[in-house]
Structures are given as structure tokens and as C-alpha cells.
Amino acid sequence: MAILRVAKCDICDRTEIEETHGAGWVGWAIIQGIASVPPVKDKSLTTENTSMMLCPHHKMDVANFIEGLQEEI
């Protein structure tokens, strides 16, 4: 029996359970290299503490922000 994973937005705490094991979450995004909380001093960095999970709404907010930065160039 496969275990279904749960995604949780690091901004609004919205959660979503994947429909089938390994399917992921439609419209969600994982941003690598940016943590939602600062890493603990003297602890090694891992994927979990250097990434953010974003729901579709907040993914679009970040995409629009990046687009705005690109337009400034």
C-alpha cells in the first residue's frame, strides 16, 4: 500500500494530499535554495531546510514578483 504525501504551503499553511502516490501536486512549486525559516546555526544544510513549498496562489505571487524584477532591467 502506497503512502500519499501532503504538501503544505510555507506561506499560508494550505495543505493538499496527492491523488495517487508519486503524482505530486498540480500547480504547486518547490523553490530550492530559499528557506522559509533561517537554518539552525551549526546544523548541516539539507533539502528540507533550504527549500520552500508554495501553493498555486503564492507561486503566482512569486512569479509576478520575479517578472516585475525582469521588467526593471
* pLDDT at res. 28: 97
Give the DSSP letter string of 15-73: EEE-SSTT---TT-EEEET--SSPPPTTS---SGGGEEEE-HHHHHHHHHHHHHHHHH-
Q: Which residue has the higher pLDDT, 38 or 19?
A: 19
40 pLDDT band, cuts 50/70/90, is confident
Q: Where are the domains of the chain?
A: 6-72
73 pLDDT band, cuts 50/70/90, is confident
Is the predicted pLDDT of residue 19 greater than 70, yes or no?
yes
CA-to-CA separations, 10 to 14, 16, 60, in angstroms, rounded: 8, 12, 14
Half-sphere exposure of 41 (CA within 13 A, CB side): 0
pTM of the model: 0.78
